Amino acid sequence: MKFAIRTENLGRKFGSTVALNGVGVEVPEGAIYALVGPNGAGKTTLIKLLMNIFWPSEGSATVLGQDSRRVAAGVFCQIGYVSENQEAPDWMQVGEMLRYYRNFYPRWDRDLETQLVRQFDLPLDRKLKHLSRGMRMKAAFASSLAYRPHLIVLDEPLSGLDPLVRDELIVGLLDRAPETTVFLSSHDLAEIEGFSSHVGFLEKGRLLFQEEMASLTARFREVTVTLNGPATVPAGVPSSWLQVEAADSVLRFVHSNYSEDESPAELATFFPAARDIRADAMRLREVFLAIAKSNRGVGQSESEARPSLEVKA
């Protein structure tokens, strides 16, 4: 498998603060990879390391086959980068900005530019500083997509935007998705759930796991076991069961390694007196909450032992 982005044991310190620690991200070519995590998890730092804005304190990263420390003009011709925190040439009009950027990209597609301007309804004669936040973000998208980049890197691109603009941007992005790799960060799971093919979860500078979205949602199930008598948390619960709770005659937990073929039989064996066993699909947000809570609720060594928290390619 070829990777558009690959990091190995990537770390970054700011003074004595560890922003990233031993991160190993693998973004297959053609994927829409969502890097999620709470604010302050290190998502922006990771992206800035990939974009050669920061240099790693340890480990290494490759972007489109190039060492991140050598990512420069030649590689940036193939990368479209949009960040909510990035400054813009505010003094320029939208049209002026697009004309200016044309000079930097040999593969700039004027037809696509026109199409994006129309799609995003961009006012070409307005200065960027006079645009709303959503419009500015749309202008940034247009200027980062018009040269058909091989890799699109988005740092919290949809944060704080109204739903309409968010949908417009996602549609614009998905239109380009077949010909590119997308790597985006977000702290809002709901906004990436619908279109991401891969997901990685970063917390406190560590990558807790990464996985294909389909595989992740397939193996996580909220299991509800209804017993005839009062339920108690049984001894010897497998480590793949997270957040095991008992109330009245009901036992609930999150199964992090559910298999349609094997798990029903396994559960039936574990709960022979069960009146009913249900395994419900979970939304991504619920999966992450389960992982995050589980991770916070146990010691580090214990959490590392859990299969649900292992990094999976």
Q: Annotated catalytic sites, by residue?
A: 156
Give whichever of 96 and 188 is closer to other proteins, judged by the CB atom: 96
Which residue in 32, 21, 8 sits closest to 154, CA to CA? Answer: 32
Figure out which of the listed residues 23, 41, 51, 213 binds other proteins, where binding follows CB under 8 A.
51
Q: Tell me which stretch binds other proteins (CB under 8 A): 82-90, 114-122, 172-180, 188-196.
A: 82-90
Per-position DSSP letters for 61-90, written without gaps between them: EEETTEEGGG--HHHHTTEEEEETT----T
Q: Looking at beta carbons only, is 150 or 252 nearer to other proteins? A: 150
Among 16, 39, 103, 301, binds other proteins (CB under 8 A): 103
> Contact between 54 and other proteins (CB under 8 A)?
yes
**Cα 16 from chain centre:** 27
Query: Using CA atoms, how far apart are residues 8 and 25, in angstroms rounded to an integer?
Result: 7
Query: Among 3, 101, 141, 253, which residue sits at the site for other proteins (rule: CB under 8 A)?
Result: 101
The residue among 27 and 153 lying less far from other proteins, judged by its C-beta, is 153
C-alpha dihedral, 135 to 140 to 143 to 145, nearest 10°: -100
Tokens of 27: 């973004």
Closest CB to other proteins among residues 87, 261: 87
Shortest spacing between CB 48 and other proteins, in angstroms:
6
Q: Does 170 bind other proteins (CB under 8 A)?
A: no
Round to whole Å and give the CA distance between 165 and 153: 18
Give the burial string for 34-60 (b: 16+ CB within 10 Å, else e).
bbbbeeebbbbbbbbbbbbebebeebe
Taking the complex as a whole, the smallest distance from the CB of residue 32 to other proteins amounts, in Å, to 19
Q: At its nearest, how many Å lie between other proteins and the CB of residue 117?
A: 19
| Radius of gyration of the CA atoms of the chain, in A | 22
Query: Among 32, 36, 79, 165, which residue interacts with other proteins (rule: CB under 8 A)?
Result: 79
Interface with other proteins, residue 48, by CB under 8 A:
yes
Give CA–CA dist 278/293, Å, rounded. Answer: 22
CB of 269 to other proteins, least distance (A): 54
Supply the DSSP symbol for 127: B
Spatial separation of the C-alpha atoms in residues 54 and 69, rounded to whole Å = 8
Residue from 83, 119, 159, 186 binding other proteins (CB under 8 A): 83
Which of 105, 246, 252, 312: binder of other proteins (CB under 8 A)?
Answer: 105
Of 104, 167, 268, 304, the one binding other proteins by CB under 8 A: 104
40 contacts other proteins (rule: CB under 8 A): no
CB burial of 7-29 (b: ≥16 within 10 Å; e: otherwise) equals beebbbeeeeebbbbebbbbbbe
Neighbours of 105 (CB within 10 A): 17
Helix axes 110-120, 133-145, angle to 10 degrees: 160
Q: How far is the CB of 134 from other proteins (least distance, A)?
A: 18
Cβ atoms 285, 189 nearer than 8 A: yes
Closest to other proteins by CB, 117 vs 153, is 153
Q: How many residues bind other proteins (CB under 8 A)?
A: 25
Residue ranges binding other proteins (CB under 8 A): 48, 51, 53-54, 72-74, 76-77, 79, 81, 83, 85-89, 91-92, 100-101, 103-105, 153
